[in-house]
Amino acid sequence: MGCCGSSEQKQREWKPLEDRSCTDIPWLIIFTLFCIGMACIAGFSISTGAASRLISGYDSYGNTCGQKNGKIEGVELSGRDQTNNKYVFFLDPCNIDILNRKIKSMALCVSRCPDIELKTYTDVKKFALQNGSELCSYDIPVSKYPSHGERSKKCPKLPVPPSNSLPVFHRCTPVDISCYAQFAEAFVTFVSDNSMLHRVIAGVMASKEIIMGLCVLALVLSIILMVVIRYISVVLVWILTALVVLGSIGGTGVLWWLYVDHRTNLTDQTGTSPTPQQQVAADNVQALLVYAIFATVFTVILLLLLFFMRKRVALTITLFHVAGKVFTHLPLLALQPFWTFLSLMLFWVSWLGVLLFLGTAGSPVQSEEAGLVEYRMSGPLQYMVWYHAVGLIWISQFILACQQMTVAGAVVTYYFTRNKSELPMTPIVSSMLCLTRYHLGTVAKGSFIITLVEIPRLILTYIHNQLKGKENACARCMLKSCICCLWCLKKCLMYLNQNAYTATAINSTSFCTSARDAFAILVENALRVATINTVGDFVLFLGKVLIVSCTAFVGVLSLNYQRDYTVWVLPLLIVCLFSWLVAHCFLSVFEIVVDVLFLCFAVDTKHNDGSPGREFYMDKALMEFVEDSKNMAGRDRPEADGDGAEMKPMTHGGGTFA
């Protein structure tokens, strides 16, 4: 379980796909026990009656609707048999403080929700006599509804709006939801006119088919882009390089021109005694000189970096080309975002359900303000909630790590299989089976490390939000700095984890050994890593912008022919947001493929040289890149090795890695 306890002194050999064995078994046991704990919490919340309270609801005296109840000490109207009263009815349905999670309206268990408007207490009495559904507190007889002295507190607020029960959760909700406008105002503060809100909603409803069609278009464009990006990456990279060079040179030239112009004007105006305006002009000239010098130094350094890193930019282009080829050979890679999203949604829904069960699994407490009964968590239940919250982070990270390991395993199998006819029928499925059989412990350990960083970051973020407007500037700055540092640490660890998973997929080593080996390879290729991460990320960013722009353009053309409404803002925002999320999900898989290919390439070039017995595994395009690099190095060092054997991949079974 230790991370750095290896006693190996010599450098270990990389043996791709040779010896497959189970890794990090102790961490798999720990993760399994943790998941069993999560299941126990879910079972406890259901078995203690929390599930029935959540689904059936309970009244303000602690009675769960639709069943017999036990007596609660100190609450007179508790312990009632509510078998026939299955619905929760709020006396004032518009007085529920959702934001503070406090019930400000008295709730009762009734046998039927009022389906007509009741304008007077006589109508309330008549409804109770006809339907057997008492809408006032249990201690008020039906006959005294119109004349009881406490009817304003213990009877529904007039007029009683017609309501229906929810399909699963038995709550009586008003048919006309206009009374919830006060809650809508908290979320739609920019809307000051109801007609505007109605037009926006009507626009979304009228264009729902167009929105769905555009979302499908964004999905199709993302899949197409992953395949064809290998053809347009060259153009994108060199356009980016040209824009950066022209921008830096142009900006530097403008600064020097402004400096010369201002200095000339200042020289013409200089007299015996400088005026305040001339002093300000002199300060501006000095500032422009500093800016121009800084811009010149920056431009020179940038041009030198681009000159010396031009081969590494070429490597980025080549990796994008090979990554596009990988997607043509492994089309199931495109489905990885679907499975990951589906798994996350199923887990989040179940997690939220258990959290809601826990929220009603506490002990009944009578509030001091209104005397209403609430269920509050105390003691062990609070620790269960914290345990449950940690489970949300760890298991979510575990699911994301499984995607990374699955993609890495499939790409590694593709890269290190010399004869492509010998590839498994479905490398993605084979990678999933390999992950399940051998490497779940490694994934559990890597995701736990991310969890250790994410928990304090979320806690500090929560504290910062709670103290907003109360803490001083120094404390606010320190909190933000800590949050930023933890965020950066998380990003670095996630990148290292991803490469550790790739090393595990190659060599079947434990997490820490793989992380150490991957880190050593990345350090040896630091400039290449920097180039791929900067140039590659920007190219993928341009790809996302391209998908969003195309989807938005088609959306404008489509909405132009829909004349049922005039408000396009919300439909277009929905489409653009969804298309960005879809593009991000798919291109993040493409980014993982590029990173995996780079680590495979780095391992390949480090331990093989193309000579007999040490043939390369790499693709033909990468082979050409290596050949060009060696030829350039040979021209720079003509008297280096005289024998330079030609580098070529091993042929096996009549096929080459081309």
The reported pLDDT for the residue numbered 653 is 38
Whether the pLDDT of residue 444 is over 90: the answer is yes
Report the residue count for the chain. Answer: 658
CA–CA dist 347, 343 (Å, integer): 6
Whether the pLDDT of residue 2 is over 50: the answer is no
Q: What is the mean pLDDT of residues 270-291?
A: 70
Between 566 and 258, the more confident residue is 258
Structure tokens at 545: 């912008």
Helix ranges, 76-207 (H): 121-131, 151-154, 181-187, 194-206
The reported pLDDT for the residue numbered 270 is 59
Whether the pLDDT of residue 470 is over 70: the answer is no
The average confidence (pLDDT) of the chain is 77
The reported pLDDT for the residue numbered 35 is 94
Q: Residue type at 612?
A: P
Structure tokens at 571: 């439909």
pLDDT band per the 50, 70, 90 thresholds, residue 392 = very high
The least confident of 266-270, 274-278, 560-564 is: 560-564
Q: What is the mean pLDDT of residues 278-289?
A: 74
User: Taking a C-beta distance cutoff of 8 angstroms, is the pair 278, 270 a contact?
Assistant: yes
The least confident of 88-97, 176-185, 332-341, 410-419 is: 176-185
Between 604 and 655, the more confident residue is 604
Whether the pLDDT of residue 269 is over 70: the answer is no
CA–CA dist 402, 396 (Å, integer): 10
Query: What pTM was estimated for this model as a whole?
Result: 0.73
The percentage of residues in the chain with a pLDDT greater than 70, rounded to a whole number, is 77
Burial of 519 (0-12, 13-18, 19+ CB in 10 A): middle
The reported pLDDT for the residue numbered 647 is 40
Q: What is the mean pLDDT of residues 55-59?
A: 84
Q: Which residue has the tokens 């934001």?
A: 99
Whether the pLDDT of residue 126 is over 80: the answer is yes
Reference 548, options 570, 580, 512; nearest CA is: 580
152-197 pLDDT, tens digit per residue, is: 888 888 888 888 887 777 888 887 655 554 444 444 443 334 444 4
The reported pLDDT for the residue numbered 577 is 84
Distances (CA, A) of 650 to 114, 423, 473, 627: 81, 16, 64, 16
The percentage of residues in the chain with a pLDDT greater than 90, rounded to a whole number, is 11
Which residues 6+ apart lie within 8 Å of 140 measured at CB? 148, 150, 151, 154, 155
**Domain positions in the chain:** 18-49+330-361+376-516, 54-180
The reported pLDDT for the residue numbered 611 is 72
